[in-house]
Structure 1
Amino acid sequence: MKELATALFLLPMLMTTILPSTQAQTPAGTSPEFWKWAQKPPMGWNSWDCFATTVTEAQTKAQADYMAEKLALYGWQYIVVDIQWYESGATSFEYRANAPLEMDEWSRLQPASNKFPSAAGGKGFKALADYVHSKGLKFGIHMMRGIPRQAVTRNTPIKGTKLHAADIADTHSTCPWNPDMYGVDMTKPGAQEYYDSLYAMFASWGVDFVKVDDLSRPYHQAEIEAIRRAIDKTRRPIILSTSPGETPVTSGAHVQQHANMWRISDDFWDDWSALFTQFKRLDDWTPYRGPGHFPDADMLPLGAIRQVPGYGGGPWTRFTQDEQRTMMSLWAIVRSPLMMGGDMTKNDDFTLSLLTNKEVIEVNQNSNGNRQLFHRDGLIAWIANDPNGPDKYLAVFNTGDALTLDIKNAVFRSDLLTRQTPGHGVEVELDITEAKKLFLMVDDGGDNFTADHFDWSEPRLIGPQGEFKLTELPWIKATAGWGQPSTKTAVGGKPMRIDGKQVAYGIGTHANSIIEFDLPPGYTKFKAFAGLDEGGTSQPNGATVRAMVFTHSPYIQQESATVPVTWQELGFNGPVRVRDLWQRKDLGVFSDQVFIVLKPHASVLYRITPVKAP
């Protein structure tokens, strides 16, 4: 038996096969016709992670040029323009309430011509789609669920009817994070006609892929069905992607009959805790994964992301190389759609290598029987079958942290803080006599929801010489699960506010967060109010955290883990040959098992081939 070191790992994904067809009523127990349009997980690029609401025609063409030259050979196919292409003044990751939107006379949003010049004169995305198609690629757009609020205010007509926007809008059905749309009441005459006219327009532009947001959480079944009908009436094979998650697993049987891919989580970013939570979600969705219908673990935040203001974290992925390979291995073995989120024109060699490994792409595009093999105290394995023979694929992950938290050493630990907590927070007063370090920590309270905006309000040190504002002391290190800690604003960029009151001074952050200070001598007390910022409590879900304070390092160093895997677990009874797909090399023949040595957050992806007896 041999000991195998952690392998290098990358992953691109192969393209979707699209077969022109229409979707009739699907009899119970049969496969929808639209599944044929995406027999393999779609592979492409989406503009959100790098350009947010600001993407332009020139930037989109540059991505298409890059994909055609460097990635199409590996199966990358879709170029998708994300949100607010119809908002001429959009400048960041934030949305402007009541902003004027480009719209035609039939209540349908149009590309803003200052960002997409070829759309001027009512031409829509036709010219841009033609450009993408000329590169041998396919073109996609993002849409919000519903009808523009602007259309309802102006009461513009619905094409093909004598009805108007106000006749079909449900003004009580709104998106909590985007101000552009009202929901459509599908019980009203004209509602289906609105969606029909919208998707007929998309088809006339040459759109091949539509991502529809504010659709899956909560699950808007009636509008999902309306969009499905509208796409099918166009007689164009338009891939339907629903967003955001977490799509309820209880709706799995329904969503797979109406969409090609659906989000399993909220927006996924380059944070390890977010990646860790995808493991369970992807396991939960296993019964609903198959050709033409794929649970979507979201875009790949690789390379040059966050290229515009409004979202903290820096202009390059925060994932380590091990974490990037782990993400790619997981997306491959579970057959998640692969949508690159970074500005591809700025890819470095490592990022490109993650997108151009044919053997890893093969796992994503053509394996079957994908399932979790085991989960042993954070050591996780998935397997899948090679459909062309007896080989199997094996992915093994060490999801443990290099530094794990020992909360028993906290000198202060709050109860769970929620929007029901009086004052949305808790007073903190601690004896720090002789302490040389201070660590302020916030965790997500165990619900893994990403609306945990938090403020350390008026943090101060007290001693014989008086009070000293902690915000005047530079920290040694500061992390946040979303954005970046700041002493100037809340993590979302707005003034810090807790329970309706503005914070005089403080540190805005987001769980999971830890901020480390070296303390000056002579101070004996630490005081603060630890509270939920209104950036979280104003949202309909989440905003549940725990606050902790340490005066010594809260971390325990973890070593690499050895993961034994027997061939019987994989269904083999004899020796096998092991090939490392990231290193692209054979590791040898093993008689009955291997011992895989993995650093925290690292992974391997192997092809296992049975060896015939001589």
Structure 2
Amino acid sequence: MNKNNFAALPPMGWNSYDYYDTTVNEEQVKANADYMAANMKEYGWEYIVIDIEWYSHKPGSMRDKFQYIPFAGVEIDEYARLQPDPERFPSSAGGTGFKHLADYIHSLGLKFGIHIMRGIPRTAAHAHSKVLGTDLTADMVANPSSICGWNPDMYGVRNIEAGQAYYDSLLELYASWGVDFIKCDDICNTNMYVTNQYSARHEIEMLSKAIERCGRQVVLSLSPGPALIDKAWHYEKHANMWRITDDFWDNWDLLKDMFHRCELWENQVSKGCYPDCDMLPLGWLGKGFGKERRTDFTKEEQRTMMTLWCIFGSPLMLGAEMTKMDDWTLSLLTNKDILSMLTPDCRPHQLAHDEMKAVWTAYNDRTKERFIALFNLADEEMEVSVALKDIDETLPTGVSLLELWTQIRTKSSDGKISSILPAHGSSVYRLE
């Protein structure tokens, strides 16, 4: 199988983390899947991803002290493979895992994904659990000197044949459940090890090989960032997505910084291989963190984020509780003209960037469409412009433009495209 065909377009979906943190349950996942199927599927939204700690007992019950309860009880099978917590995911009772929930999501015409942590469960290593397909036990596969600095659940896996067998057994299990998407954490950048931030390189390769062997197309997403630009070739060979930032939240400074990050990675966007700008923190967020709230991004900042993610070609993973989504936020996510930029046929390029402004262009090699995005990064209203000759010297001095958010048609004047933008605002044009 060619992994580049698993995600011919940047994946678009929903992830439970920004709203539920560690606490999401089956009923809530189904409710969000129902909403996506009814309101967003026709626009390309298709993945429903359960994020971290789906195997843990009573997650979130000590949230005032711990995000991840140290050495809490987990649901696990005899072969060191974590299972869904049946208290939160009742359909997993009897050892059926996520199969019934995946079947439900597939019945809606959507795809199903899960979050995993790199490695093998510590509890399995301590119990000397079997590793399927080998004569070794989990303690022989685990590397106790390879850990995650912020989550206590796993040891890294040794670079040995039995380690590969462990990952093969995981993907065999996930394929039987009907998993279409895996977000693997503590693997893209093992930032606890500052002198060896790519210490999990062999585990990326093991996961990639296990996916090839499992007989199912499974998109592989690597977290957290920032991804290492000198390892771009390795990410591209073994994964479909890799995070170019640490956790992204609804903070203007974080969004402003993404212009630097996207510039660094703009030449690495290709079919099946997507530098990932992380979640879209829109709508209602934070319930699992102890404080349900609306996004702190202004509407202008929300448009700026969507414009940058799409013209750059990032995957889109929504963090909102979709059942509470308002019409304005839904319209932000279902603008077909904006989403038309989200294809590897569209080649992105940051043409200008300083503290006050940014200008991006993208040219679709297949449709021959050209897009221009103007961003005001300043804290007050400002005019942002770009000369047509700086975009393409063959462009005439007057070109017809369609602004994709407002659907207003206009023309360039004085040989430039110009827009007066509010603070943190943006405009994006398609040349017509």
TM class by shorter-chain length? over 0.9
Structure 2 CA distance for partners of 1:34 and 1:366, relative to 1, 3 Å: closer
Residue aligned with 1:584, SS: coil
Q: Distance in 2 between matches of 1:80 and 1:603?
A: 30
- Find out whether 1:69 has 2:42 as its counterpart: no
Once the two structures are TM-superposed, the CA of residue 329 in structure 1 deviates from its matched residue by 0.4
Contact 1:152–1:166 under 8 Å retained in 2: yes
Q: Deviations over 1:193-225 (max 9, x none)?
A: 000000110000000000000001122110000
Once the two structures are TM-superposed, the CA of residue 367 in structure 1 deviates from its matched residue by 4.5
Residue aligned with 1:176, SS: coil
Q: Superposed, which structure 2 residues align to 1:511-530 within 5 Å? A: none
Q: Deviations over 1:148-177 (max 9, x none)?
A: 000011110001111100001000111000
- Find out whether 1:581 has 2:404 as its counterpart: yes
Task: Name the structure 1 match of 2:429.
Answer: 606
- Find out whether 1:344 has 2:322 as its counterpart: yes
Match of 2:293 among 307, 311, 315: 315
Q: Distance in 1 between matches of 2:14 and 2:368?
A: 33
Which residue identity does 1:350 align to in structure 2?
A: W
Task: Name the structure 2 match of 1:34.
Answer: 3
Task: Name the structure 1 match of 2:311.
Answer: 333
- Find out whether 1:570 has 2:375 as its counterpart: no
Once the two structures are TM-superposed, the CA of residue 59 in structure 1 deviates from its matched residue by 0.5
Task: Name the structure 2 match of 1:217.
Answer: 189
The number of residue pairs the alignment matches comes to: 418
Q: Superposed, which structure 2 residues align to 1:135-534 within 5 Å? A: 135-186=108-159, 188-218=160-190, 219=198, 220-310=200-290, 314-365=292-343, 367-400=345-378, 402=379
TM-score by length of 1: 0.67
Q: Distance in 2 between matches of 1:353 and 1:204?
A: 36
More strand by share: 1
Task: Name the structure 2 match of 1:596.
Answer: 419
Which residue identity does 1:138 align to in structure 2?
A: K
Q: Distance in 2 between matches of 1:367 and 1:326?
A: 22
Which residue identity does 1:584 align to in structure 2?
A: Q
Match of 1:118 among 86, 91, 98: 91
Q: Which shows bigger deviation, 357-366 or 162-171? A: 357-366
Contact 1:577–1:590 under 8 Å retained in 2: no
Q: Deviations over 1:414-467 (max 9, x none)?
A: xxxxxxxxxxxxxxxxxxxxxxxxxxxxxxxxxxxxxxxxxxxxxxxxxxxxxx
Q: Deviations over 1:330-368 (max 9, x none)?
A: 001100000000100100111111111000010113652
Divergent runs of 4+, >4 A: none
- Find out whether 1:104 has 2:84 as its counterpart: no
Which residue identity does 1:71 align to in structure 2?
A: M
Which residue identity does 2:251 align to in structure 1?
A: D
Contact 1:262–1:295 under 8 Å retained in 2: yes
TM-score by length of 2: 0.94
Once the two structures are TM-superposed, the CA of residue 388 in structure 1 deviates from its matched residue by 4.0
Contact 1:143–1:210 under 8 Å retained in 2: yes
Structure 2 CA distance for partners of 1:224 and 1:163, relative to 1, 3 Å: same
Q: Deviations over 1:505-541 (max 9, x none)?
A: xxxxxxxxxxxxxxxxxxxxxxxxxxxxxxxxxxxxx
Which residue identity does 1:335 align to in structure 2?
A: G
**Root mean square deviation of aligned Cα:** 1.3
Q: Which shows bigger deviation, 238-247 or 376-385? A: 376-385
Q: Distance in 1 between matches of 2:334 and 2:367?
A: 24
Which residue identity does 1:595 align to in structure 2?
A: S
Contact 1:367–1:384 under 8 Å retained in 2: no
Once the two structures are TM-superposed, the CA of residue 277 in structure 1 deviates from its matched residue by 1.1
Task: Name the structure 1 match of 2:24.
Answer: 55
Q: Deviations over 1:275-298 (max 9, x none)?
A: 111111111012211111000000
Q: Distance in 1 between matches of 2:18 and 2:84?
A: 20
Q: Deviations over 1:13-58 (max 9, x none)?
A: xxxxxxxxx2xxxxxxxxxx21011111000000000011101010
Once the two structures are TM-superposed, the CA of residue 256 in structure 1 deviates from its matched residue by 0.8
Which residue identity does 1:247 align to in structure 2?
A: A
Residue aligned with 1:55, SS: coil
More helix by share: 2
Q: Deviations over 1:100-149 (max 9, x none)?
A: 11000000000000000000010000000000000000000000000000
Q: Deviations over 1:373-431 (max 9, x none)?
A: 1114431011001334443101111112x2xxxxxxxxxxxxxxxxxxxxxxxxxxxxx
Q: Distance in 1 between matches of 2:134 and 2:270?
A: 39
Q: Which shows bigger deviation, 328-337 or 380-389? A: 380-389
Show structure 1 runs of 5+ residues with no match.
Answer: 1-21, 23-32, 403-558, 610-614
Contact 1:143–1:211 under 8 Å retained in 2: yes
Structure 2 CA distance for partners of 1:246 and 1:589, relative to 1, 3 Å: closer
Q: Distance in 1 between matches of 2:161 and 2:429?
A: 55
Contact 1:168–1:189 under 8 Å retained in 2: no
Structure 2 CA distance for partners of 1:185 and 1:99, relative to 1, 3 Å: same
Percent identity, please.
Answer: 45
Residue aligned with 2:323, SS: helix
Residue aligned with 2:270, SS: coil
Contact 1:578–1:590 under 8 Å retained in 2: no
Show structure 2 runs of 5+ residues with no match.
Answer: 191-197
